[in-house]
Amino acid sequence: MHFDLTPDQQALQERVREFAQAEIAPRAEQLDHDGVFPTDLFRKIGDLGVMSIPFPQDLGGLGLGVFEAVLAIEELARADQSIAVSTMVSIATGLTVARFGTDEQKKTWLPDIIAGRKICSIAGTEPDAGSDTAGFKTRATDLGGGIWSLGGEKAYITNPGTDISSFALILCVSSPKSEAKKQYTLFLVPSDTKGYTRGKKYRKMGWRSSDTRPLYLDDCRLPETAIVGKVHGGRWVLHKGYQAARLFLAACSLGLAQASLDHSIAYAKSRQAFGGSIGRLQLVQEMVAKMALKVDSARLVTYRAAWLVDVGREDLKALSMAKLHATETGSEVANMAIQVHGGWGFMDDCPVSRYLRDNRVCTIGDGSSQIQTLLIARECGLDVTF
């Protein structure tokens, strides 16, 4: 059992960290204030090679593992979780196409994604259905002659409305309305498709520079070559995509938790009160020590889950544990960081204030903490129905 990174992994981690701290961190507060997706920074992330990390070399990727992608995403989130989540959603969506798409889909759509020239989305959630994919209402109707018509609405989708958005993977109910049991098909929908409208972006508590908006489908016609995977096999493919996203979202929370700890240690050393630095006070030390323990334990479960994927032992329980523990830890540690910072931590221009806002959605998206808890219980052998 080895806990040290390889020299190549250390070099990758350091390279992304240096870039993120030099290029992203200084702009994070302003990006949060403006709420505009930073296309220039995203393309620099692409130039750095982050987007290409887990993709096969024959597709233009670096041929590295999910573990290396987790290392990179963690460092991006340590500087700004908003751009980290935009990055990880595009990677997870691209990996879904790489795993289940046709050769033509890969050839047409992945080069720009892998290079970071374009960004993409995965769209499952609807206004009345999130973790409950059985409740989806967006429908794909087979018109015959290899043509499908899509109609409905998706909600809270990341990345679809930027100036470099390329496509969205959209899950639709594809079985006839007369059938009692729903079946689903996943479609690759180019951003310029007629009948496909990207709604006004949401006003959000956090992730303000990450693009999030609803999607509307009105007789959106696509050829059968737009199907990713098999007809009526889309729900399984989407869940596989969500599993990757859960691991990457755990990395986003891990990076934010580490940043919260970094700021708290620095502030505890510099803030003077009661005749010296507050870092000498035992109750402040207790908070910092608890934060350090939580961050390290979240890192261990997240890294282990990523390692299991790369060695071919994709473990649903390990993925759910990583997502549950790391995202909950992100919020807990950010909240404690505000306490360490006192009144300053409550101010918008204090980084840890932004961290708490940003991470709040991480315990909801890509399968809520409650869903992850049920999945873990089921994988432990208990009878769980949902």
pLDDT, mean of residues 332-357: 97
Once rounded to an integer, what is the mean pLDDT over residues 217-224?
97
Say how far apart CA 253 and CA 250 lie, in whole Å.
Answer: 5
Identify the pLDDT of residue 239.
85
339: three-class secondary structure by DSSP: helix
- The answer to whether residue 18 scores a pLDDT higher than 80 is yes
Q: Report the percentage of the chain scoring pLDDT > 70.
A: 100
The Cα angle at residue 87 between residues 359 and 265, in degrees rounded to 5: 45
Q: Each residue of 184-213: pLDDT tens digit?
A: 999 999 999 999 999 999 999 999 999 999
pLDDT band for position 384 (50/70/90)?
confident
Q: pTM of the entire structure?
A: 0.95
Query: For 67-124, how does the pLDDT look when each residue is reduced to its tens digit (9 = 90+)?
Result: 999 999 999 999 999 999 999 999 999 999 999 999 999 999 999 999 999 999 999 8
Average pLDDT, the chain: 95
Which residues contact residue 251 at a Cβ distance below 8 angstroms, ignoring those fewer than 6 apart?
A: 69, 70, 71, 73, 74, 77, 84, 88, 302, 306, 326
For 111-195, list the strands marked E by DSSP: 119-123, 139-144, 147-158, 165-173, 184-190
Specify the amino acid at residue 130.
Answer: G
Task: Give the start-end residues of each E strand in the chain.
Answer: 119-123, 139-144, 147-158, 165-173, 184-190, 196-198, 212-223, 227-228, 272-273, 276-277
pLDDT at 242: 83
B/e letters for 336-352, b = 16+ CB within 10 Å, e = fewer, are: bbbebbeeebeeeebbb
Q: How far apart are CA 8 and CA 25, in angstroms?
A: 24
Q: What is the per-residue pLDDT for 131? A: 74
Instruction: Grade residue 386 by pLDDT with cuts at 50, 70 and 90.
Output: low
Task: Work out whether strand 184-190 and strand 227-228 pair parallel, antiparallel, or are unpaired.
Answer: antiparallel
**Which 3 state secondary structure label does DSSP give 35?**
coil
Summarised one tens digit per residue, pLDDT across range 290-320 is 999 999 999 999 999 999 999 999 899 999 9
Radius of gyration of the chain (CA): 21
Q: What is the mean pLDDT of residues 324-330?
A: 98
Percent of the chain with pLDDT over 90: 90
Residue 351 pLDDT > 80, yes or no?
Answer: yes
Q: What domains lie within the chain, and their CATH numbers?
A: 7-119 (1.10.540.10), 122-234 (2.40.110.10), 236-379 (1.20.140.10)
Q: At residue 180, does pLDDT exceed 90? A: no
| The pLDDT value given to residue 35 | 96
Distance between CA atoms of 113 and 90, rounded to whole angstroms? 7
Residue 170 reports pLDDT greater than 80: yes
Predicted pLDDT of residue 177: 85
* For residues 246-254, average pLDDT: 97
Per-residue pLDDT band for 134 (boundaries 50, 70, 90) equals: confident
Residue 2 pLDDT class (50, 70, 90 cuts)? confident
What pLDDT, on a 0 to 100 scale, did the predictor assign at position 299?
98
